[in-house]
């Protein structure tokens, strides 16, 4: 007796103890899986180890006859679960002579992770004796599952693939950890190839040496850590790679803590400030009191406690409406208190403000200043009263006029200028504005320029604001300068019909403002019929263009220097007229001349032209041609056809009786060109000409056609009949 153990690749075959008997003595049986080959015996137990559901493993059994005569292998039986199949087998029955072999490939593809068993028997007959070779087949499969437990002492929770591991809330700049467990709950060992972690602020530790084989009932444990650097949620994934598949588990965590923000609310708006920043309180006149509100908000995601709110320093700066302390501020909650400034001297007062553990500087100016205003135009200066009018000199459209606005402090304390603005989108702009906020010392002044750039004729107004003071600014726009001379590059006096020409627009010199314009086509027909085909390539008889300020060439969409124009097929004169206006204000600048800026293109009368000759139909007794072309005078009087004889060595009987034919078509063409139906086609035509052939039509190799009128004939075009 003997014991044999066989390990094969991803699965393994375990051959149990069996007695040496008749089958063993007459047959040599080998099992192969991967690169490993072992000799087995009749009655062996073979175990197939798969790495997962529907991940097949197979073994090849080679049965070699070692007897002295011959054996007949009649068939095989496979009894048990359908997870085992014979993937390849010999053609049976098969007669084996000494040293002949048959091969069976057995495959295990598990549909369950439970242990599976079947009986496999190979039936044979040797002489008069029938027997069989038996094997007991067992399939085992791993089944991996996931669970986690918050550290250091949380309860374990199962989590499916695609599920989510939820970390406990973690304080910012601290660490939160969970134990992540990968368990083999199946019937066989499985291979763990890799564990990969992704996501900001997540780390992985305790990773074993991989790949690792995990036996049934055992597990692999790693530690997942979340280390938030800021408030808010974080997300990531853990990917676990097995043989032939992978699974992903999501991670979610939250960084928690308190985060206070501070806002100073005044009558003119609000200002966010931060720790160690110095807050400047509004300038306050002596004997008056200014109150500003401080708004404190907990932007964190956990409660915070404020233990102190106080101001130390100048007696002129005090606090009021302070809440009772200590104060618990919930996440998202806020509280307010008031800073009061009541100056008694024209000096700058300072204090130190404490809110909880944060400190801020406070600065306030007591003032007795008085502001006065003046406007200087050229060498003349005139006073401007608060809420008064500022009048700038007239300016030609495309030009500017300028005045200097001066703010003087005639008081005995500095004055703060916090804002200077003029109505947005108006014809007025500001230049050389000092950096704001600005202070004007007692007896000093500051100035800036007001620039008037009219976009239309007539009066224009806007509002100038200096701090809370407002002024009405007015100016008058004068007539714009005339346009320079206009040219149409690309235009020619004459052009062929049915062509496309490029046409541009240029100015003799640059104009000071942006211009818009249009080109408009009109057509004077020589034959009293319009041609709708005469239009711009972009469609229609009107096309727009722009001329950027201080340039000379018109720009057509899309960024082209010329517009393409189709000349049509009717004789006459095309006139292209240009109009101009300012982009801002839409002031018409088209020169008042007779005629208006325009160019003309003459489409000359010419003999008809052919575009194609096509064979429309052909029978044994005739054929029909489609003759397409155009005639700029909308007149066709004759059509000539020339027939070329066929040269067919196999048909010596063919004979061409007629070599040419002339048709008078003045009437049919006159009817077409005078019809309403022809109007959309200019002078285009398609003539259908039917020929009846007496004799054998195969005698005609090809037909050439020309058309003509009083101005001459077209070129010839031919079509083959054979």
Percentages helix, strand, coil for the chain (3-state, rounded to 5) are 5, 55, 40
Q: What is the pLDDT of residue 593?
A: 60
Cα distance between residue 186 and residue 113, in whole Å: 5
Q: What integer pLDDT is reported at residue 595 of this predicted model?
A: 60
Q: Which residue in 24, 29, 4, 2 sits closest to 14, CA to CA?
A: 4
Bond into 439 cis (ω within 30): no
Cβ-contact 212, 269 below 8 angstroms:
no
Neighbours of 432 (CB within 10 A): 10
Cα–chain-centroid distance for residue 669?
57
What does the chain come to in residues? 722
CA distance 133 to 135: 7
- Provide the pLDDT for residue 594: 53
Three-class secondary structure of residue 590 per DSSP: coil
Give the model's pLDDT for residue 92: 87
Task: Find all residues with CB under 8 Å of 184, minimum gap 6, and list them.
Answer: 142, 143, 144, 190, 214, 215, 216, 217, 218, 219
For 37, the token pair is 């080959």
Model's pTM, two decimal places? Answer: 0.45
Cβ proximity of 427 and 401 under 8 Å: no
Phi, psi of 609 (to 5 degrees): -125, 140
**Backbone φ/ψ region at 202: left (φ over 0), alpha (ψ -120 to 50), beta:** beta
CA distance 626 to 685: 10
- Contact (CB, 8 A) for 15 and 45: yes
Predicted local distance difference test score (pLDDT) of residue 573: 94
For residue 91, what pLDDT is reported?
Answer: 86
Q: What gap in Å lies between CA 350 and CA 605, rounded to an integer?
A: 94
Which residue in 601, 560, 554, 562 sits closest to 580, CA to CA?
A: 554
* Cβ-count burial 142-158 (b if 16+ within 10 Å, e if not): bbbbbbbbbbeeeeeee
Q: Which residue has the tokens 């139906």?
A: 677
Q: Please give the pLDDT value at position 153.
A: 85
- What is the Cα–Cα distance from 287 to 151, expressed in whole angstroms? 64
What pLDDT does 24 receive? 46
Q: List pLDDT tens digits, range 343-373.
A: 987 778 999 999 998 999 999 888 777 789 9
d(CA 259, CA 358): 11
- Chunked in runs of 10, what are the mean pLDDT values of the chain (722 residues)? 33 41 67 84 88 90 90 89 86 90 92 91 88 90 93 90 92 90 93 93 92 93 92 92 93 88 88 90 86 92 90 92 93 92 86 93 84 92 91 87 93 87 91 93 93 87 94 89 88 88 92 90 91 92 94 92 93 93 83 75 94 94 95 95 90 86 94 92 94 90 96 95 88
């Amino acid at each position: 007796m003997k014991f044999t153990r066989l390990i094969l690749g991803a699965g393994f075959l375990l051959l149990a103890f069996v007695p040496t008997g008749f089958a063993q003595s007459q047959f040599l049986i080998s099992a192969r899986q991967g690169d490993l080959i072992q000799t087995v015996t009749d009655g062996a137990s073979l175990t197939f180890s798969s790495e997962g559901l529907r991940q097949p493993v197979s073994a090849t059994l080679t049965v070699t006859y070692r007897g002295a005569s011959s054996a007949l292998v009649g068939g095989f039986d496979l009894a048990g679960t359908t997870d085992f199949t014979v993937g390849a087998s010999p053609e049976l029955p098969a007669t084996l002579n000494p040293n002949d072999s048959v091969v069976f490939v057995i495959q295990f593809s598990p549909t369950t992770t439970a242990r599976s068993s079947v009986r496999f028997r190979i039936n044979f007959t040797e002489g008069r004796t029938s027997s069989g070779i038996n094997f007991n087949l067992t399939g085992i499969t791993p089944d991996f599952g996931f669970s986690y437990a918050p550290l250091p002492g949380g309860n374990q929770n199962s989590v499916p693939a695609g599920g989510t591991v939820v970390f406990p809330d973690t304080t910012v700049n601290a660490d939160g950890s969970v134990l992540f467990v990968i368990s083999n709950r199946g019937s066989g060992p499985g291979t763990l190839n890799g564990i990969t972690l992704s996501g900001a602020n997540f780390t992985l530790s305790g990773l074993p040496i991989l790949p690792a084989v995990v036996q049934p009932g055992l597990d692999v444990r790693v530690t997942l850590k979340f280390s938030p650097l800021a408030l808010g949620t974080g997300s990531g994934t853990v990917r676990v790679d097995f043989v032939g598949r992978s699974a992903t588990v999501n991670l979610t965590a939250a960084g928690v803590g308190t985060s206070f923000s501070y806002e100073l609310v005044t009558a003119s708006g609000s200002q966010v400030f931060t720790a160690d920043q110095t807050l400047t309180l509004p300038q306050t006149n002596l004997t008056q009191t200014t109150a500003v509100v401080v708004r404190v908000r907990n932007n964190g995601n956990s409660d915070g406690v404020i233990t102190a709110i106080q101001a130390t320093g100048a007696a002129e700066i005090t606090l009021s409406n302070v809440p009772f302390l200590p104060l618990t501020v919930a996440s998202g909650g806020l509280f307010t208190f008031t800073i009061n400034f009541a100056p008694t001297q024209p000096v700058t007062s300072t204090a130190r403000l404490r809110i909880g553990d944060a400190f801020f500087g406070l600065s306030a100016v007591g003032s007795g200043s008085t502001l006065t205003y003046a406007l200087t135009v050229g060498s003349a200066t005139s006073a401007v009263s608060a809420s008064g009018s500022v009048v700038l000199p007239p300016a030609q459209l495309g030009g500017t006029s300028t005045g200097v606005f001066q703010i003087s402090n005639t008081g005995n304390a500095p004055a703060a200028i916090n804002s200077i603005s003029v109505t947005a989108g108006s014809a007025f702009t500001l230049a050389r504005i000092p950096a704001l906020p600005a202070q004007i010392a007692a007896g000093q002044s500051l100035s800036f320029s007001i620039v008037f750039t009219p976009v239309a004729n007539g009066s224009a107004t806007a509002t100038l604001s200096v701090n809370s003071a407002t002024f009405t600014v007015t100016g008058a726009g004068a007539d714009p300068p005339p346009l320079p001379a206009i040219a149409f590059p690309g235009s020619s006096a004459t052009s062929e019909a049915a062509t496309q020409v490029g046409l541009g627009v240029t100015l003799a010199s640059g104009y000071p403002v942006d211009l818009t314009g249009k080109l408009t086509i009109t057509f004077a027909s020589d034959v009293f019929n319009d041609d709708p085909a005469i239009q711009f390539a972009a469609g229609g008889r009107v096309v727009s263009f722009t001329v950027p300020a201080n340039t000379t060439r018109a720009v057509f969409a899309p960024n082209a220097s010329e517009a393409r124009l189709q000349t049509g097929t009717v004789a006459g004169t095309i006139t292209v007229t240009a109009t101009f206006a300012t982009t801002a204000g839409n002031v018409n600048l088209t020169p008042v001349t007779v005629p208006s800026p325009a160019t003309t293109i003459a489409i000359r009368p010419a003999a008809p032209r052919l575009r194609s000759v096509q064979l429309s139909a052909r029978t044994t007794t005739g054929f029909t041609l489609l003759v397409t072309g155009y005639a700029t005078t909308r007149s066709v009087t004759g059509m000539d056809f020339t027939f070329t004889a066929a040269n067919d060595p196999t048909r010596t009987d063919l004979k061409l009786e007629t070599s040419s034919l002339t048709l008078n078509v003045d009437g049919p063409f006159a009817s077409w060109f005078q019809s309403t139906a022809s109007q959309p086609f200019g002078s285009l035509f398609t003539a259908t000409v039917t020929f009846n052939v007496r004799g054998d039509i195969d005698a005609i190799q090809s037909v050439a056609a020309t058309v003509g009128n009083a101005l001459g004939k077209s070129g010839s075009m031919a079509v083959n009949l054979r």
